[in-house]
Structures are given as structure tokens and as C-alpha cells.
Amino acid sequence: MATPVDVTPTDDLELAICRILDVPREKLFKAWTTPELLKQFWCPLPWTTPEAHLDVRTGGSSVVVMRSPEGEEQTHRGVYLEVVPNEKIVFTDAFTSAWAPSDKPFMVGIITFEDAGAGRTRYTARARHWTTEDRNTHDRMGFHEGWGAVAEQLERVAAGA
């Protein structure tokens, strides 16, 4: 079961969570980079992820669609800034594809997978924002609860992968 770990944001524009997950980092990375697996954990239940198109490489793009229980859809387009297999994934919504700027950048996501021994992983998820207003909006949206729930869902999905 995901064990919360204290983590300090790097500055006042960042939100962060950290968990020790009972899954090797290779399986967690695989879940983050395989569309059918990502669709199973990407957003907190009862929301679902009906679509995930991933070109997981530095400069590659992604399109992920989230759906509410009422049928409302949110499409998230982004670009991978850095991909280090089994260690790190950095992505942003500042670009939509092939370095085409988005209408309104919101954040950069930084996901790290560190070996925690005994087949476990120190999983850290950081969201860096352009403005304090964006950071506060993300916090009010339930960043800690939502990204914490996603970490638990990720652990279950990756364990079975």
C-alpha cells in the first residue's frame, strides 16, 4: 500500500507529493508509458480515461482525455520534455505537439522513480506552475488528494502489469 512521505516543494510555484510504492520502478515507468495501463490510473475515480495517445520520448506528444461520471470531457495535450527510462518523466502542457505553443500553459509535471529497496519505489510527482495563481488554483482543485489517489491507483495497476 502507498506510504506517504513528506516532500518539500522546490519553490512557491510547485506542488508535490511523494509515496513509497510496493512496486519496482520499472513497472511504474511501464504503466506511465503504456496507453492501456495509463488509462487505468490517470485520474482519480470516479473519473475515467477513455483515450490516451502517448509518444513517450523527449519532444514526443501526448493526448489524454478524462471523463467525469456526468460525461464531461477534458482533453489534455502536452509534450514530453525529458524521458529517462525507469527514472524520470517530465511533461508540460505549454506545448501541444511538435513544439506548437498551447493557448495557456498551466504546469510542468515531473515524475521521478527512485529505488527504495526490496522491490519498492520512491515515487515523487511535482507540478510546477507559471504563476502563484495557477498553483493556488491547482491546490484548490484538490492536487494533493487527487494526485495521491492517482499514486494509489498507479500502484495497483503497475503491480498487475
- Write out pLDDT tens, residues 37-82: 999 999 999 999 999 999 999 999 999 999 999 999 999 999 999 9
Phi-psi region of 91 (alpha: psi -120 to 50; beta: other; left: phi over 0): beta
pLDDT at 161: 84
* Number of CB atoms found within 10 A of residue 155's CB: 23
Q: What is the mean pLDDT of residues 76-104?
A: 95
116-136 residue pLDDT tens:
999 999 999 999 999 999 999
Where in 85-119 does DSSP place strands (E)?
88-92, 95-97, 100-101, 107-117
- pLDDT above 80: residue 5: yes
- Residue 99's pLDDT band (cuts 50, 70, 90): confident
Q: What is the pLDDT of residue 102?
A: 95
Average pLDDT along the chain: 96
Q: How far is CA 11 from the centre of its chain?
A: 19
Cα–Cα distance for residue pair 99/21, rounded to 1 Å? 33
Q: Which domain holds residue 138?
A: 3-11+19-159
Q: Total domain count for the chain?
A: 1
Q: Which residue has the cell 507559471?
A: 130
CATH classification at residue 34: 3.30.530.20
Per-residue pLDDT band for 98 (boundaries 50, 70, 90) equals confident
**Which residue matches cell numbers 507540478?**
127
**Matching residue, cell 467525469:** 68
How many CB atoms neighbour CB 24 within 10 A? 19
Q: Which residues make Cβ contacts (< 8 Å) with residue 72, sequence separation at least 6? A: none
The interaxial angle of helices 143-159 and 25-33, nearest 10 deg, is: 110
117 sits in the region (left: phi over 0; alpha: psi -120 to 50; else beta) called left
In 18-142, where does DSSP find H-type helix?
25-33, 35-38, 132-140
Output Rg (C-alpha) for the chain, integer angstroms: 15
